[in-house]
Amino acid sequence: MDELSGDPRERFFIVCAGRTGSTLLAAALADSGADFAMPLPGNWDPSGGGMEHPLVQRAAGRFHRAYRMAPEKPVGRFRAAAWNWERRQGKRDLARVLDAARYLKGINIDLAVQPAFQLGYFPRIILSYRSFEAQARSRFTMRGHSSLDALARLYNRIYGNGLLLLQIYGGCAVSFDELVTDAPHRTAALLAETTGLPGPALERALGARMTAGTPSDTKDCTLDEEAARLYRALETMKGRAIPASRQAIRSWSGRTAPPAV
């Protein structure tokens, strides 16, 4: 994909907002040799998530708590101290899991990508996405206390960040509709080019894990204009392995082993 492909410090982040087929995707990657530092699920359960390492969940939760305090470091001694403490704890957990795993998945993991780079790893982005209307219906059904506003904020932040991170560090975008309805060879070829995992193994794994699925209803009314704009942008990335930007490669050059936290 680019000159950094295959670097031992390369790490793959499956960025998703939930209910996008990301567990199926992660399980197929693991079947093909991707190291998530956790056991493979025997079956893909479409009613629930999986393949999320406890340390990934904990680190992403820390970064999310800091983000909810303030998207950037806040002014004020006590707020800044609390913000810094959450991020330090998040980096500590993240460093531990990055040392053990090459692949990471989870909601709010978009907030862990820049810290991973600061810790001495080169992130790659695999965006697992679906239209907001279909994703919101599925997530709302699973989490009855959610509101449309909350679902839209989550979707817009994760996929806004995800698109930016994809253009900086490289990777690919995998559509839920293609994942559950198409022959697996197209997705397998894209993932093989992105990750370096063997294409035939990925195709077999996707075929074995996949169950009959229903594509998202593209005739839905638009529930959120920003989410619709992001979905259109995601669709333009579909099917392409995106190389890292020259800025990211220049920033990476000269780095050595990950520093101690």
**155-184 burial code (b ≥16 CB/10 A, e <16):** bbbbbbbbbebbbbbbbbbbbbbbbbeeeb
Please report, in tens digits, the pLDDT of each residue of the chain (261 residues total).
898 999 999 999 999 999 999 999 999 999 999 999 998 876 655 555 688 999 999 999 999 999 999 999 999 999 999 999 999 999 999 999 999 999 999 999 999 999 999 999 999 999 999 999 999 998 888 876 689 999 999 999 999 999 999 999 999 999 998 888 766 889 999 999 999 999 999 999 998 887 645 566 555 689 999 999 999 999 999 999 999 999 999 999 877 656 555
| CATH dotted code for 10-252 | 3.40.50
Cα–Cα distance, 244 to 60 (Å, whole number): 23
- What gap in Å lies between CA 189 and CA 41, rounded to an integer? 23
CA atoms within 13 A on the CB side of 250: 3
Give the separation between CA 149 and CA 80, rounded to whole angstroms. 27
Say if pTM beats, i.e. exceeds, 0.85. yes
